[in-house]
Amino acid sequence: MGKLFLLFVLIPIVEISLLISVGEQIGGWNTVAIVIATALIGSYIVRQQGLTTLINAQQKMQQGVAPGQEVAEGLLLVIAGVMLVTPGFITDIIGFLFCLPMTRPLIAKGLLAKLSMQVVGQTQGGFSGQQGSANRSANGDIIEGEFERKDEHKADTERLDKPD
C-alpha cells in the first residue's frame, strides 16, 4: 500500500511542483519544450536499445542459453518508455537510467539478483519433507509436483547392490 501511494500520489505531486518551479525559472513554453524533447529523445533511445536487446536475446537463444539478462533489460526498457513519455523531470531521470546502455545492465543484474533471492527464499521451507505428488506449504497452499529424496534413493540403490 505504501509503495502504491508513493507511486500514484506523491510522485505526481512532486512532478507538478517541479514543473511549476522550472516553468517560473525558464518560462512555461521552454518547460513544455523540454518535456516534449525528452519524450522524443527517450522514445528513440528506447527503440534503439530495444532492438539491440532483442537481437542479443535471439543470439543467446540460438546458442541454447537462457536470455535472463536480456529479458530483465527488456522489462526495464518497457518501464523506461512509460516513464519517458510521462511528463515530468523525475520520471525522465528514472526513464533515462533504465534505458541507457551504461546503467540498464547494472540495474537488470540487481533486479535478477533480487528476484532469484526471493525465489530461493520461497522454495526453502515450503515443503513438509514427505515424498509424494502434493504437499502443503507452511501457509496451507497445496503445491503440485513430483520430487524424490536423494538420500532415500541412494539407500535403496545400495540395498539393491548388496547380495542377500
Q: Give the pLDDT mean for 11-31.
A: 94
> Using an 8 Å Cβ cutoff, are 152 and 131 in contact?
yes
pLDDT value at residue 131: 46
Domain boundaries, the chain: 13-120
> Using an 8 Å Cβ cutoff, are 131 and 51 in contact?
no
| Mean pLDDT, rounded, of the chain | 82
pLDDT value at residue 9: 86
pLDDT in tens, 54-104: 999 999 999 999 898 999 999 999 999 999 999 999 999 999 999 999 999
pLDDT value at residue 56: 92
E strands along 59-137, which residues? 134-136
| 30-43 CB burial, b ≥16 within 10 A, e <16 | ebeebbeebbeebb
pLDDT value at residue 159: 55
Q: Residue 153: how many CA atoms within 13 Å on its side-chain side?
A: 5
pLDDT value at residue 121: 64
Q: Give the pLDDT mean for 30-41.
A: 95
Rounded distance between C-alpha atoms, residue 114 and residue 109, angstroms: 9
Is the pLDDT confidence value at 7 over 90? no
pLDDT in tens, 124-150: 655 444 444 445 555 666 767 776 767
Is the pLDDT confidence value at 162 over 90? no
pTM summary value: 0.66
Question: What is the percentage of the chain residues whose pLDDT exceeds 90?
Answer: 56
